[in-house]
Amino acid sequence: MNKKLIIIKSLAIALACTGLSCGKLEFLKNEQPQAVDAGANLKGMTFADFLKIDHSSDLTNLNLYAEVVKKAGLTEFLNQPENYTVLFLTNQAVNNMVSSLGYTNLNDVPSIVLRNILSDQIFKGRLRSFDLAIGETRKFETINGSFIYYTRSATSSNEYVLTANNSTDLTSPPSTIRSQNLEFKNGIAHVTDQFTFYKLKDAVPDAPSGSVGAQTDIIHVTKDLFIQNGTANRNKNFNNATSIDMKNSNGKDVSVDRMGLFQFPLTTPSFGNKIGLAKINFYVYFTGLASSLTAYAGADTNFDETTVTWTTAPTYDRVSLANVSLAAGQTGWITMDVTSLVSQLYGSNKTFLNILMNHNNDNFVKIYPREFDSGKFKAYLSISSPPATILTFGNAAALNVSAKDGFAKLSTTQLKMNGADDKNISYIINQIPTNGYLVKYGIPLPVNASFSQTDLVNGSIKYLYSGSGNTDEIIVEAKDNNGGFYNTPLKITVNIQ
C-alpha cells in the first residue's frame, strides 16, 4: 500500500462541506475504511491556519484547544514552515488537562503553564501511524526538552490503533488517538479525547531503616466502600461490610470498572506539625492477576458513605499519589507512602484525607472494609514524628533562566544533598516562587509539595518564568527516607537573564 495514503476517514472530506459550514463534521474516528488521501484542504493550511477557524459550532470539538494555543502564545510557532508532529486536544481533553493542572477553569491557568504542557506534546518531524510497525513504541524529544511516546497496535478490525504515552516507563495516563495522520502544510496532527503528559515512574525510596521518630499516631478509616462505573451501576451505592472490590477494564467495558474510596480524618498529630512519615495501610485479601495497585488523591469534598456513587464521588488527581506491585494471589497488609499529600493537607488546615484506588488489569483486587470481622482489618493512616536525619549538605546554587526560553530545569547543580541515595532524598517546598512556577512534569507544585533528588537527576522539575521580575527564590527543606529533616532550609536564587 502506498504510504502516502492515509488510513483514516479523512478530516479533509468533512472540511470540504462548504468550509466547515455543513455542521456534520465527523472528526476523528479510528476506522480503517479504504485509504483516503488527506486532500488539499488541510495540506494547504498550517496548524495555526486551521486553529484560527471558528470551531465553536462544528463537531471538531477543538475550539478550546484553539483557545489554549492562543493563550499559550504558540500561534506563531504553529504557523512556521518547519515540519512538526502535534497532539491536538479535544474539548474533553482540555477540560481534563485543566483539572489535572489543579485549576477550576481554563481562564485560571497561567499562560506559561499552558505553553509548557502543550510544548511537551509537539516534536520536530512528521510521524504517521504507518511509520510505526505493529507493536512498536518510539520515544520523541519534544520542543520543550521533555519526551512523548507513540505506540502502534492492532485489533482484529484495525491495524492502525495509535496511542500516546502508552509505555511501561511511565505512570502518566495514556491517550488513545481518536483521529490520526492529519496532514497539514507544516506537519502532522493526531487528535485525542484524553489528556496525557510525560511522567516517569516515581523512584521508590527504600523502606525506613527503623529509625523513625519516637511517636506514631494511628488514624483509622471512617468511610470506605467501592464505586462502580457503567450505565446500570454508576448511580448505585456499593457500601457493604464484606468487601471493597477494585477492577479495571482499561476502557474495554467500563461497566466493570470499580474503584475503592476511602476517607481518613486528619486529627492534629500529638508530636507537632512536622511529619516524618505518613502511610496508608490496607489489608488485601484477594488478588487475581498480578497488578499495580495505585492510589490517587481525592478532591477535598465530603461524601455520604451510604449514598455516594461513581457519579457523585470526589474527583481525583490523575497524577498517581502512590503505587505498589501485587503478585497474583498476594494477600496481607500493604502500605503506601502519602507523606507529601498529608503534609500539604495539614499545611492547608484540612480535616480529612480522601483516597481513591484502582489497579491496572481486568481482574479483581479486594480489600477488607472497616466493618469486617469487628474492624480487625480496617485500613488506617499512620503518621510518625521525624527522626534525626542522615543527610549532609551538598550545595544550593543559583538557577539561571533565559527570559526568552521562559523555563529552566532544576538539577543537582542547583540543589543537592549527600548521605543517602538520590531516591531516598526528598525536598519539601516551604516557599514557592513569586515570579514564576515550580512544576513537576508540568504540574505546578504548591507549598508543602515534595519532589525527590531523583526527580532532579531526571530533569522532571522546572522553573517556569511568568514574564515579570528579574529575580526569584525557592525555599525547600531536605528530608531523608526515614523522615529525618536537615536542620536548616535551603534557598535557591533564580536569576532571570
pLDDT for position 340: 86
- Is residue 438 within 8 Å of 410, Cβ to Cβ? yes
The verdict on 60 and 158 lying in the same domain is yes
The CA distance from 199 to 94, in Å, is 18
pLDDT for position 318: 76
DSSP 205: P
Identify the CATH number of the domain in which residue 134 sits. 2.30.180.10
- For residue 69 the three cell numbers come to 494555543
The verdict on 376 and 419 lying in the same domain is no
pLDDT for position 348: 86
The CA distance from 393 to 387, in Å, is 17
The verdict on 368 and 410 lying in the same domain is no
Give the Cβ contact number of residue 193 at 10 Å: 17
- Is residue 202 within 8 Å of 187, Cβ to Cβ? no
Q: Which residues of the chain have pLDDT under 50?
A: 1-39
The verdict on 304 and 434 lying in the same domain is no
- Is residue 41 situated within a structural domain? yes
The verdict on 464 and 379 lying in the same domain is no
The verdict on 141 and 124 lying in the same domain is yes
> Which residues, listed in sequence order, are joined to residue 478 by a DSSP beta bridge?
427
Q: In what order do the strands lie in the sheet with 137-141?
A: 122-124, 84-89, 187-192, 175-184, 161-164, 147-153, 137-141
Helix (H, G, I), strand (E, B) or coil at 15: helix
**What percentage of the chain carries pLDDT values higher than 70?**
91
Identify the CATH number of the domain in which residue 370 sits. 2.60.120.260
The CA distance from 265 to 190, in Å, is 44
The verdict on 36 and 149 lying in the same domain is yes
The verdict on 436 and 323 lying in the same domain is no
Q: Which of 345, 368, 384 is the last residue of a domain?
A: 384
pLDDT tens digits along 412-434: 999 999 999 999 999 999 999 99
The verdict on 263 and 363 lying in the same domain is yes
pLDDT for position 40: 52
The CA distance from 488 to 305, in Å, is 43
- Is residue 2 situated within a structural domain? no
pLDDT tens digits along 318-376: 778 898 999 999 999 999 999 889 988 998 889 999 999 998 888 999 999 999 999 99
Residue whose C-alpha is closest to residue 21's, from 72, 55, 62, 69: 55
Chain centre distance of CA 62: 22
Pairing of strands 187-192, 84-89: parallel
The verdict on 149 and 271 lying in the same domain is no
Site of grid cell 523513625: 212
H runs (alpha helix) in 212-354: 339-347
Residue 64's φ and ψ, nearest 5 degrees, are: -70, -40
pLDDT for position 58: 87
Pairing of strands 392-396, 322-326: unpaired
pLDDT for position 9: 39
- Is residue 205 situated within a structural domain? no
Q: What is the total count of domains within the chain?
A: 3
pLDDT for position 213: 78
The verdict on 68 and 124 lying in the same domain is yes
Identify the CATH number of the domain in which residue 418 sits. 2.60.40
Domain of residue 101 covers 11-192
The verdict on 138 and 238 lying in the same domain is no
- Is residue 6 situated within a structural domain? no
pLDDT tens digits along 200-239: 988 889 988 866 778 999 999 999 999 999 999 999 999 9
Helix (H, G, I), strand (E, B) or coil at 217: strand
- For residue 424 the three cell numbers come to 531516598
